[in-house]
A = this chain, B = another copy of it.
Amino acid sequence: MSDTREQILEQIKVQGDLVRQLKATKESKEKIDEEVSRLLALKAKLGGDATPANQKFTLKTPKGTRDYAPQQMTLRQGVLDKIVQVFKRHGGEAIDTPVFELKEVLTGKYGEDSKLIYDLKDQGGEILSMRYDLTVPLARYLAMNKISSIKRYHIAKVYRRDNPAMTRGRYREFYQCDFDIAGTYDPMLADAECVKIVAEVLDTLDIGDYVIKLNHRQLLDGMFEACGVPANNFRAICSAVDKLDKSPWADVRKEMVDEKGLDGATADKIGEYVRLSGGAELVEQLLADEKLKAVPNAVKGLEGMQLLLKYCSLFGLEERISFDLSLARGLDYYTGVIYEGVLKAEPSAPASPVKELHNGDQALEQSGTVGSVAGGGRYDNLVGMFDPRGKAVPCVGVSIGVERIFSVLEAKFAASKVKLRTNDVEVYVASAHKGLHEQRLRVLNQLWNAGIKAEHSYKLNPKLLVQLQHCEEHQIPLAIVLGDAELAQGIVKLREVTTRQESNVNLADLPNEIRRRLQK
């Protein structure tokens, strides 16, 4: 092995002293040059940075981001595998897009949230931004390739310069797992399947009780119209309603009146509607509502909800869904059904910010939620925004917010003190005494070539106890112990790590015997 950095730094110091001494004693130029050359050679060994000034900045990942250690990766891979399984069960195909897009692709798609987009520095050439979600890149992909129908999933990281709250799973770099159905189809069939997918994902992840809230953008717009909101204020008021899952009604009302110029009476009418939630009977009640039934948008939205609820009930989702007029979703591009999967608080969990509509209104507080873990909806006009002739491709989709799910699972595992295995090694190849490293390499080669997962110590003469401890710590099921006496007879000891039972196995039969043991 080459010298360590410390050793080289020490050698540089010594050599530097020598050079200074030679110069002080006025040695021959030839002699001095020779020693200077040695000094430079030593400095060159330090690699790129010839001056060994270690950095003065704090060693950290950028704000709002994190590394995944092996334990966390194991957890994450388990979650993603289960989600992919659900997506494939519904016929999803995978696609991938670049992590950044031309900035223009993202412009005008996110409303108030555009300020959270990460831009790349202009280094000459194109102006780029990091993707903010996977939906706009999908729309760009469909328009660019003139694809009019696809059922695709996409699992990748997205980027938002938001205020991170990392303990609750809110990051600036985070995974989204998206499933979208694009194509011109009959109403609500694809939409209901997306709701079913949310339920299947949350069921398979088994992270606690949940509810899927449903609403419809056309109904929201119709309701705003019925309450007397000017049409050019729909999106702004919608954006205020969206905050009801974090802020009490009083604050939201204040935003509507003070910031968005709504008159108080109109806001109060909205307040009456957005406190409603229920099932098919609520749709009936609203279809009979005098104010709503006069507004075509509201009637269309309610009829859509009626069909959606029927399909959801055929999918066995009645107990899992709630038609909820306070659900608004932040993004501008939705045009139809919207939904959100929300975990309910564990009875023992500490109180978290819950929706309060009016002071003293306990109904929703009791159903206290720990946050949204999935969301989506219909966006029929987004692809058309990219098509030069405005050709639309209707889409509906869902996005699973896995970071919050990771947070919930990490907390669970930390509490349970179960240690997840982070490697898949099946056999550890150990030496019983000195001088066996070449034999170890031969046996390892035999095992690897047979497809068996195997490792050893990278020391020539490791202690047997240390090797066996490694197996126990890393939950490796089997160990082979090599010794001269056995090798002379063409055999090795095979040890079951948990029981510590050992038996002799012929070297030639080793891969087969290991497979037999692993199957048990």
Q: Which residues of A contact B (CB under 8 A)?
A: 1-6, 8-9, 37-41, 43-49, 52, 54-55, 57, 59-63, 65-70, 73-74, 76-77, 88-102, 104-105, 108-111, 118-123, 125-126, 128, 130, 140-141, 143-145, 150-152, 157, 159, 161, 173, 181, 183-187, 189-190, 192-193, 196, 200, 218, 221, 225, 230-232, 234-235, 297, 300, 311, 314-316, 332-336, 378-382, 384-392, 394, 422-425, 437-438, 441-442, 444-445, 448-449, 451-455, 457-460
- Given the interface pairs A40-B231, A231-B41, the reply to whether A390 lies near B9 with Cβ below 8 Å is yes
| Residues of the B chain whose Cβ atoms lie less than 8 Å from the Cβ of A380 | 1-5
A277 to chain B, nearest CB (A): 23
| Residues of the B chain whose Cβ atoms lie less than 8 Å from the Cβ of A121 | 118-122
| Residues of the B chain whose Cβ atoms lie less than 8 Å from the Cβ of A60 | 102, 144
Interface pair A1/B94, CB less than 8 Å apart: no
- Given the interface pairs A49-B108, A61-B101, the reply to whether A95 lies near B70 with Cβ below 8 Å is yes
Bound together, the chains give a CA A335 to CA B453 distance in angstroms of 29
Oligomer: number of copies? 2
The 5 closest A-B pairs by CB, nearest first: A185-B458, A41-B231, A48-B332, A40-B231, A91-B455
Can you report 15 A-B residue pairs in the complex whose CB atoms are below 8 A from each other? A5-B384, A37-B230, A41-B231, A44-B234, A44-B235, A47-B332, A47-B382, A54-B386, A61-B97, A61-B101, A88-B423, A120-B121, A185-B459, A315-B445, A316-B449
Interface pair B453/A88, CB less than 8 Å apart: yes
- Given the interface pairs A48-B109, A120-B121, A230-B40, the reply to whether A98 lies near B67 with Cβ below 8 Å is yes
- Given the interface pairs A62-B101, A230-B37, the reply to whether A6 lies near B187 with Cβ below 8 Å is no
A10 to chain B, nearest CB (A): 10
Bound together, the chains give a CA A18 to CA B183 distance in angstroms of 33
A176 to chain B, nearest CB (A): 14
Bound together, the chains give a CA A38 to CA B184 distance in angstroms of 27
Bound together, the chains give a CA A92 to CA B454 distance in angstroms of 10
Interface pair B332/A445, CB less than 8 Å apart: no
| Residues of the B chain whose Cβ atoms lie less than 8 Å from the Cβ of A4 | 380-381, 384, 392, 394
A262 to chain B, nearest CB (A): 15
| Residues of the B chain whose Cβ atoms lie less than 8 Å from the Cβ of A140 | 59
Interface pair A123/B70, CB less than 8 Å apart: no
Bound together, the chains give a CA A57 to CA B447 distance in angstroms of 56
A406 to chain B, nearest CB (A): 12
Bound together, the chains give a CA A189 to CA B431 distance in angstroms of 15
- Which residue of chain B has the shortest Cβ distance to A104 in the bound complex? B57
| Residues of the B chain whose Cβ atoms lie less than 8 Å from the Cβ of A93 | 70, 73, 422-423
- Residue from A54, A60, A316, A437 whose CB has the most chain B CB atoms within 10 Å: A54
A419 to chain B, nearest CB (A): 13
A9 to chain B, nearest CB (A): 6
Q: Of B44, B110, B314, B454, which contacts A441 at CB under 8 A?
A: B314
Bound together, the chains give a CA A77 to CA B4 distance in angstroms of 39
- Which residue of chain B has the shortest Cβ distance to A428 in the bound complex? B91
| Residues of the B chain whose Cβ atoms lie less than 8 Å from the Cβ of A39 | 231
Q: Of B61, B97, B231, B437, which contacts A98 at CB under 8 A?
A: B61
- Given the interface pairs A45-B335, A92-B423, A120-B119, the reply to whether A8 lies near B394 with Cβ below 8 Å is no
- Residue from A76, A187, A458 whose CB has the most chain B CB atoms within 10 Å: A458
Bound together, the chains give a CA A422 to CA B93 distance in angstroms of 6
- Residue from A119, A232, A380, A381 whose CB has the most chain B CB atoms within 10 Å: A381
| Residues of the B chain whose Cβ atoms lie less than 8 Å from the Cβ of A101 | 61-62
| Residues of the B chain whose Cβ atoms lie less than 8 Å from the Cβ of A95 | 67-70, 73
Bound together, the chains give a CA A108 to CA B55 distance in angstroms of 10
Bound together, the chains give a CA A111 to CA B48 distance in angstroms of 6
| Residues of the B chain whose Cβ atoms lie less than 8 Å from the Cβ of A73 | 93-96
Q: Of B55, B119, B441, which contacts A123 at CB under 8 A?
A: B119
| Residues of the B chain whose Cβ atoms lie less than 8 Å from the Cβ of A232 | 40, 43-44
